[in-house]
């Protein structure tokens, strides 16, 4: 099914008698059963006001089209959308709806947040076929129940997004990345914590095993030069930090793990515990992002990382096999209640949370 507008989509959902699988650009691949409901017909930028830092587009709009429109005005989406096609061997093109449904976030999350934090409003069709509008198209207009926050990260399980209004930001004039070589994982996390806790507005803090520990500052040229210098002084106890070419798109897309075989796992954890958890896992390779709050790992195929990790504060997802890690009972209870409200016929339900 490929509805051409919201009315056709509503009609298709009302008429559906079995499970539906919402598909944007399909980069995430198909883990669940059901008739495919494509959003490609709901595409196009509907409003872009660079002066007001807002953009409204259909959910099926390719991300590349949005990036190009913003770049032409010296602006960008502030959250860095990961492109995991190479590391997961997937095809397709990311769409705005898929990005919001995944609540996409890259290395800059430590400074600015995720897609959810830039959604001003949305339109969607729920499992009854009802068209819902929430939020607004300007920044001061969030009233009532904040459905926008709920739909960001809902992975097509509560309904179909048809339009999203986003806050956008200017591209910074300059960027500098410092690299500390040779730190072990625990020292690297300590260095990243010191940098992130400093007043020098670090917008990226990552550690690549065997390569180095990277810290990014962005902004006006003079400010970047000053802050990079102060950061270097602050981190002198961890070694001599050198300025290097930007590694951030590789870190965002986890490309250092692209050539490493095995399942791709993502761990969200407490940074101070990250090194100890990773050491217990015996992973083939790892990338630390978000100052150690996010760790990407390659594990031998079929290994259940959670069993090997033991108890830790956080959670793990296997991106190579999304059905391998079911929702925890607590989350499952919450989502079951939401699904009953938004999708009483269970058209979009997906017990595996895939
Ligand atoms: C396995 C995998 C997991 C990923 N997880 C993340 C992640 O957690 N965080 C992150 O930052 N990036 C993630 N990415 C990278 C990237 O953000 C997404 O691949 C991409 O943005 C999804 O866009 P898409 O149009 O291809 O969506 P698709 O792959 O088509 O769909 C992705 C999910 O969103 C739902 N969806 C798509 N469009 C709509 C819509 N209009 N309304 C409602 N639901 C919709 C789908 O049902 C599906 O659950 C992931 C990539 C892969 C391959």
Question: Could you read off the pLDDT of 44-91 as tens digits, one per residue?
Answer: 999 999 999 999 999 999 999 999 999 999 999 999 999 999 998 888
Q: Which pLDDT belongs to residue 218?
A: 98
Contact 123, 63 (CB under 8 A): no
Q: State residue 322's pLDDT score.
A: 67
The CA distance from 105 to 253, in Å, is 11
Question: What is each CA distance from 307 to 281, 296, 304, in whole angstroms?
Answer: 9, 17, 6
Residue 353 has what pLDDT? 43
Whole-Å CA distances, 84 to 89, 90, 93, 255: 8, 8, 11, 8
Q: Whose CA is nearest to atom 53 of ligand 1?
A: 28
CA distance 179 to 223: 19
Q: Residue 105 and residue 92: Cα distance in Å, rounded? A: 19
| CA 214 – CA 110 distance, rounded (Å) | 13
Q: Which atom of ligand 1 is nearest to the CA of 350?
A: 49
Question: In angstroms, what is the span from residue 16 Cα to ligand 1's centroid?
Answer: 23
| Spans of the chain, pLDDT less than 50 | 351-354
What pLDDT, on the 0 to 100 scale, is given for residue 33? 76
Q: How does DSSP classify residue 327?
A: P
pLDDT for 250: 96
Token pair of 241 as six digits: 């930090």
Output the pLDDT for position 143.
56
pLDDT, residue 147, reads 87
CA dihedral 274, 279, 285, 288 (to 10 degrees): 10
Instruction: Supply the DSSP symbol for 312.
Output: -
Report the separation in Å between the CA atom of 26 and the middle of ligand 1, taken as the mean of its atom positions.
Answer: 7
What is the model's pLDDT at position 138? 58
pTM for the full model? 0.92
Atom of ligand 1 nearest to the CA of 59: 41
Q: Which atom of ligand 1 is nearest to the CA of 22?
A: 47
CA-wise closest residue to 214 among 302, 276, 287 = 287
Distance CA 13, CA 16 (A): 5
Quote the ligand 1 centre to 118 CA distance (angstroms). 17
Which residues, judged by CB distance below 6 Å to any ligand atom, belong to the binding site of ligand 1? 22-29, 39, 59, 81-82, 84, 88, 90, 92, 94-95, 97-99, 101-102, 104-105, 155-156, 160-161, 319, 322
Residue 333 is predicted with a pLDDT of 87
Which residue's CA lies nearest to atom 21 of ligand 1? 99
Q: Which residues contact 280 (CB under 8 A, 6 or more apart)?
A: 308, 309, 310
């Amino acid at each position: 099914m490929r509805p051409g507008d919201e009315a056709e989509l509503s009609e298709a959902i009302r008429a559906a008698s079995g499970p539906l699988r919402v598909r944007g650009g399909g980069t995430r691949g198909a883990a669940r059963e059901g008739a495919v409901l494509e959003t490609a017909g709901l595409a196009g930028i509907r409003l872009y006001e660079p002066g007001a830092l807002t953009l409204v587009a259909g959910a099926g709009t390719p991300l590349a089209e949005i990036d190009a429109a913003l770049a032409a005005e010296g602006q960008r989406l502030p959250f860095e959308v990961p492109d995991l096609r190479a590391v997961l061997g997937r095809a397709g093109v990311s769409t705005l709806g898929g990005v919001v449904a995944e609540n996409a976030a890259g290395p800059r999350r430590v400074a600015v947040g995720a897609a959810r934090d830039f959604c001003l409003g949305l339109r969607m069709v729920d499992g009854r076929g009802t068209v819902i509008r929430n939020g607004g198209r300007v920044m001061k207009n969030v009233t009532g129940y904040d459905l926008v926050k709920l739909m960001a990260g809902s992975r097509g399980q509560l309904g179909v997004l048809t339009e999203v209004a986003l806050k956008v930001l200017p591209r910074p004039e300059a960027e500098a990345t410092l690299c500390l070589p040779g730190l072990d994982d625990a020292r690297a996390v300590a260095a990243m914590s010191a940098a992130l806790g400093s007043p020098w507005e670090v917008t990226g803090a990552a550690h690549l095993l065997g390569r180095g520990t990277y810290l990014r500052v962005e902004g006006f040229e003079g400010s970047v030069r000053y802050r990079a210098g102060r950061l270097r002084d602050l981190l002198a106890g961890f070694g001599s930090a050198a300025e290097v070419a930007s590694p951030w798109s590789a870190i965002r897309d986890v490309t250092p793990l692209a050539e490493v075989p095995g399942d791709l796992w993502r761990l969200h954890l407490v940074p101070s515990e990250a090194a100890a958890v990773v050491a217990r896992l015996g992973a083939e390779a790892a990338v630390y992002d978000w100052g150690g709050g996010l760790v990407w790992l390659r594990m031998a195929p079929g290994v259940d990382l959670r069993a090997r990790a033991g108890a830790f504060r956080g959670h793990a997802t296997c991106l190579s096999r999304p059905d391998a890690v079911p929702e925890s009972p607590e989350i499952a209870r919450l989502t079951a209640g939401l699904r009953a409200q938004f999708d009483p016929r269970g058209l979009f339900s997906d017990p595996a949370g895939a």
